[in-house]
Structure 1
Amino acid sequence: MFNNIPPITRNIIILNVIVFIVTLIMPQLYETLSGFYPFSPNFKSWQIITHMFMHGGYMHILFNMFTLFSFGPVLEQALGEKKYLILYFVSGLGAFFLFNLWNFIEVQQIVSGLESLGLNASELYSKSVIGYSGNMNISATTTEGKELSQQLYDVLRTPMVGASGAIFGVVAAFATLYPNAKIGIMFIPIPMKVKYVLPVVVIGSIYLGVSGNGGGIAHLAHVGGAIVGFILARIWRKHLYRFN
């Protein structure tokens, strides 16, 4: 059965599983390969790509790989290997960009808040370095200052992981090319057309990402991936049959 999966989709799944197993064996690689905020002292250039192969747990990778397995083969066969590969990785890059654009806006607001209290945000940057073992005391003494300091520290220390952004691009492209295809949704017994499901998911992701009620999930990364997938599919749709 696995051999029947088109090669790009199959190899992406294999690579994700291999990286997941390797990081279980060598947990120090997790922080090296995860995608930190670009202005964090923990950010490395390769993380723009490597974060797409990192996952936060068994259910995370299982859900992502099952979704890719469900939608990827159809698109790979329709678009061809080259364009499918472009779709996957550019969607992942779009996810990283939008998520961190919002991070940038939030960081600027936090820094402005700290400066209005007469605090210097730079001390948080040095203390947020992975492996830092120095003095963790901060200059903030008020509740507001401590809360803002914690928020900035969390942004600088918390990486983005997962193939979800790239996979949302795949799903969005599928919905654009095959809008009337019906899919099953958890807790909903009746299959629904994907052209109705995707907008609801995207709108929900925007709300959760902007409101801060995301529960530790990078919802705006999903939106970024979906936007790229939609745009590429719209561009390629006119020439779809030329790929076959």
Structure 2
Amino acid sequence: MFNNIPPITRNIIILNIVVYVISNFFLYILQNPELYNSLSAFYPFSPNFKSWQIITHMFMHAPFAGGVGIMHILFNMFTLYSFGPILEQSLGDKKYLILYFLSGLGAFFLFNVWNFVEIENIKSSLESFGFDINGYLAGESVQFKGNATAIITQRDLLEDFNNIISVPMLGASGAIFGVIAAFATLYPEARIGIMFIPIPVKVKYVLPVVVIGSIYLGISGNGGGIAHLAHVGGAIVGYILAKIWKKHLYLFK
């Protein structure tokens, strides 16, 4: 059955699985987290950021421990398996690859634009308390200023700041959301099954609900450790590309 999957989709799935196995081997068997840190995508102004991470993060998934990582990669690969082959055959190899990787880049971009906004707001709030954020970033020993309430607020802000620059983004979800959005744009009347809904639903109704929900969760901070705005970024790119290509779909072989 696996051999029946078109080559680009098949190779992307294989590459994700291989990277997942190798990265978890380093993490748990060799007790070395360096590969995870090197290939996952950090905030661009973080000291942990490397230029190649804008691509490599698309092939990383949550660590194996606790089963979360297994569900992460299984869900992503199953989704790609469900939607990718049709698009690969419709668009052709070149356009399909462009769709996949530009959607992943769009996910990275939007997620970090929002991170930048949050970082700047945090910096402004800390500086209003007299906190030397530049000194802190330079590694200097800094002191909180003000009363007990002000100190607690500064500590909370600094924790949020450190979470943004030290917690990486990883996963194929952004690229895959681009694939889903492109599918919904090219085949809006297609019906898909959704968990807990007894009848198939047209994909043109599902996508807007998912995107709106992702925007809300991403902006509200109730994402539960999921980069929801990355999903939105990928979906936007997938939608735009599909709208452009839809007019000339007959040209793609």
Give me the TM-score of the superposition, normalised by structure 2: 0.91
Alpha-carbon distance in 1 for matches of 2:128, 2:155? 13
- Which deviations, in whole Å up to 9, do the C-alpha atoms of 1:45-80 show, x marking residues without a partner? 000000000001111000000000000000000000
Aligned to 1:17: 17
State which of 44, 53, 56 in structure 2 corresponds to 1:38.
44
Aligned to 2:57: 51
Amino acid at match of 2:158: S
- For the Cα contact (< 8 Å) 2:132–2:142, is it kept in 1? no
Alpha-carbon distance in 2 for matches of 1:224, 1:241? 27
| Deviation at residue 20 of structure 1 after TM alignment | 0.4
Aligned to 1:131: none
Alignment of 1:1-244 (within 5 A): 1-27=1-27, 28-56=34-62, 57-125=69-137, 139-140=143-144, 142-244=151-253
| Deviation at residue 121 of structure 1 after TM alignment | 1.7
| Deviation at residue 123 of structure 1 after TM alignment | 4.7
Q: How many residues end up aligned between the 2 structures?
A: 236
- Which deviations, in whole Å up to 9, do the C-alpha atoms of 1:178-219 show, x marking residues without a partner? 000000011111110000000000000000000000000000
| Deviation at residue 139 of structure 1 after TM alignment | 2.1
| Deviation at residue 120 of structure 1 after TM alignment | 1.5
Unaligned runs of 5+ in 2: 28-33, 63-68, 146-150
| Deviation at residue 241 of structure 1 after TM alignment | 1.3
- Which deviations, in whole Å up to 9, do the C-alpha atoms of 1:83-119 show, x marking residues without a partner? 0000000000000000000000000000001100101
Matched residue SS, 2:170:
coil
- For the Cα contact (< 8 Å) 1:173–1:230, is it kept in 2? yes
Aligned to 1:130: none
Alpha-carbon distance in 2 for matches of 1:155, 1:118? 21
Alpha-carbon distance in 2 for matches of 1:24, 1:227? 31
Alignment CA distance shift 1:218-1:22 (3 Å): same
- For the Cα contact (< 8 Å) 1:125–1:156, is it kept in 2? no
Aligned to 2:30: none
- For the Cα contact (< 8 Å) 1:42–1:157, is it kept in 2? yes
- Which deviations, in whole Å up to 9, do the C-alpha atoms of 1:101-157 show, x marking residues without a partner? 000000000000110010122355456xxxxxxx9x752261111011111011110
- For the Cα contact (< 8 Å) 1:124–1:152, is it kept in 2? no
Amino acid at match of 1:212: G
Give me the TM-score of the superposition, normalised by structure 1: 0.94
Matched residue SS, 1:161:
coil
Alpha-carbon distance in 2 for matches of 1:220, 1:82? 26
Aligned CA-pair RMSD: 1.3
Alpha-carbon distance in 1 for matches of 2:23, 2:181? 29
Matched residue SS, 2:200:
strand
Unaligned runs of 5+ in 1: 128-134
